[in-house]
Homo-oligomer: A and B are copies of this chain.
Amino acid sequence: VTAPAVILSYPQIGENIGAAARAMKNFGLTELRLIAPQCRWPNERAKALAAGAGDILEAARVYSDVRAALSDIRLVLATTARDRDVVREILTPQAAAQRLRAVSREGVTSAILFGGERAGLTNDELSLAEAVITIPTAEFSSLNLGQAVLLIGYEWLKAADATPASRTRKTIAVPATRQELVDMFDHLERELDAGGFFFPAAKKETMVRNIRAMILRAGLSDQETRTIRGMIVALVKNKYRGENKA
């Protein structure tokens, strides 16, 4: 995989460069290029904000203009919030990440171009990109450079992430067998019956069905069925002593 380079054009604020590096590292992007940084470089505030991503800052290469920074890149996507009067494809971050993944798998070099804090990318810079990426926002739209890199990086990782949408810790959660559940149901229903819970008797069947559905919805593990049985034992404890006496 040839991961895309992150290119910051005329970045002005050291903190944002550091935040960008930190964001990159969280999502598996490592190559940072800077076009004519407008702050002192190397930059102490950038180092502080990068936290554990100082290695990305140290390896960052500095270029004098966009043509030099892009010379070896074959697919360039540019981020922009502003509308431009050019017919160019506009991608969501997700679609952009998928396209970058596709070329990366083939070993093709790619880059994501981010403009400076104040003015964004120039029209000349944009004219070298195949497509632009626009991050969807509400009407209020105010994302800084570090946040933009974070969101694009997140989509880059997501595009190859196989984490299931929903899961339960498998090592701990061994779902209960039907036998364990049925034994627990029997235990619970017997004690509920003894406590006069099923009233009127004609409703018992429906009540049992509802209780079982409610319990099954929780997706209990085998350990949890044992816990519940222990709870039932604790709840009825000493309750029959009086009866024996009587």
Give A contacts to B, CB under 8 Å: 22-23, 25-28, 51-53, 83, 85-92, 94-95, 131, 134-138, 140-143, 147, 150-151, 154, 157-158, 161, 163-169, 172-173, 221, 224
Contacts and interface: CB of A to CB of B under 8 A. Distances in A.
Contacts of A138: 25-28, 157
Nearest to A19: B147
A89 B167 contact: yes
Given A89-B168, A168-B88, A158 B136 contact: yes
Nearest to A92: B165
Given A28-B138, A87-B169, A136-B158, 16 more contacts: A26-B137, A27-B138, A52-B140, A87-B168, A87-B172, A87-B221, A89-B166, A89-B167, A90-B169, A91-B165, A91-B166, A92-B163, A94-B158, A95-B166, A136-B157, A137-B157
Contacts of A224: 87
A136 B165 contact: no
